[in-house]
Chains A and B, each alone.
Chain A
Amino acid sequence: MKTLRWVIAIFLFGWLGQYLMAVMIPYLVMERLYIKAAERTGYNQLVVISRIDETSRWVVRPSPDLMYASCMYNLEEGPLAISAPVPERYWSMQFYQMNTDNFASITNQRKQQSRVGTRVEVTLVGPDASPSDYAGEVIQSPSVRGVMLMRASGIGNDSQMLSALNNSRCSPLNQVASS
């Protein structure tokens, strides 16, 4: 009976350890990405990555058929204003919290095709903010920090797509309001 208890205890601790590891991994990987990217480019600003090749190693499995723009965000000091022209070909703006979940997405696909030719103006607010306090399109991040990633088709003639990314912005809302 004592042996059986030990076997059950070892099994339970093994399972619990594995589960805790699985829960921790996304946070650790995102933290590493966040710190490295913030060191290199800072946060709360947009960085355009137009050409992907074997030297593109900021995140695993980059697509050579896409162009990217990223904004590592930190909402501790207030909301961000994100602004981007929406091109004709495939384009998306996706928001990731620190556990890697893609919690919000804006695209020019499916029911959002009407966004093509318009300019997306989003206010990104933190988990403790009240979205109703802000005008226009508001997205609430479940975590204070995270990543906004724009993807744009890089196949065929990509000049319009690159122009769309280069004319996008990600900056603190108070800077936009005072300028």
Chain B
Amino acid sequence: MRNGDWYTSKSVGSIHADATTRAMIAISGLLASTQQDSMYYTLRSVSGRPLRLNCRYRIEGGEYEANWWSITAYGPDYFLIPNQEKRYSYNNENIARDDNGQWVIHISTHKETGNWLPVGASVTDVDHQNSNYDFDLLLRLYTPGDTYLQNPESAPLPTVTREECS
């Protein structure tokens, strides 16, 4: 199910999931919770262009109808991306906001001011011929509100834009 550039599934972790969903979750999100507990939105491309390490990205957002939320970057091996800062994610508590409660996260391989989510090479040497993106983003909404449970395809989500690429 698509919401802008983000993708989610209502049957993740559920006993009602079909065989294909179960297989996909087993490979890329084993031990996921059901949507009543957490909703997962994944983003692998912006306007059809896969997330790349040679580009800078900007995520903009605000507050969401959930108990709490986090945004995490993962390598194509589905594990956290090594970085000197040990910064793998931002959540609703540790993110710096403006006076209106809005926030921006910068994603790049090089240090940025403000909320910087570093990305880089994964630990596992993934065959990039078989992976059409360099990293992905996972938005977790814990105890999501009805807006997300009823209308996951149109509920408000952070917007991701690609800035420049080298």
> Which residues of A does B touch, CB under 8 Å?
19, 21-23, 25-26, 28-30, 33, 52-54, 56-57, 59-65, 90, 92, 94, 96, 99-103, 105, 107, 109-110, 147, 149, 151, 153, 155-156
Contact of A101 with B13 in the complex, beta carbons under 8 Å? yes
B138: chain A residues within 8 A (beta carbon)? 61
28 contacts between A and B (CB under 8 A): A22-B19, A23-B19, A25-B23, A25-B27, A26-B26, A29-B30, A30-B30, A54-B82, A54-B123, A56-B79, A57-B79, A57-B123, A61-B79, A61-B138, A65-B72, A65-B91, A90-B67, A94-B37, A101-B17, A102-B13, A102-B14, A105-B36, A109-B143, A153-B68, A153-B142, A155-B70, A155-B94, A156-B94
B91: chain A residues within 8 A (beta carbon)? 65, 155
Contact of A54 with B33 in the complex, beta carbons under 8 Å? no
Give chain A nearest CB distance to B119 CB in angstroms.
Answer: 12
B7 at the interface (CB under 8 A from A): no
B74 at the interface (CB under 8 A from A): yes
Contact of A63 with B37 in the complex, beta carbons under 8 Å? no
B125 at the interface (CB under 8 A from A): no
B82: chain A residues within 8 A (beta carbon)? 54
Q: Do A110 and B36 contact each other (CB < 8 Å), given the known contacts A102-B13, A155-B68?
A: yes
> What's the Cα separation between A149 and B80 when bound, in Å?
20
B49 at the interface (CB under 8 A from A): no
Q: Do A110 and B30 contact each other (CB < 8 Å), given the known contacts A53-B86, A61-B74, A64-B89?
A: no
Which of A21, A103, A151 sits near B23, CB closer than 8 Å?
A21
> What's the Cα separation between A173 and B81 when bound, in Å?
40
Task: Give the interface centre of A57, A63, A90, A149 by most chain B CB atoms within 10 Å.
Answer: A63
> What's the Cα separation between A30 and B91 when bound, in Å?
29
B13: chain A residues within 8 A (beta carbon)? 100-102
B63-84 CB mask vs A (1 if < 8 Å, else 0) is: 0000110101010001111110
B22 at the interface (CB under 8 A from A): yes
A155: chain B residues within 8 A (beta carbon)? 68, 70, 91-94
Contact of B20 with A22 in the complex, beta carbons under 8 Å? yes
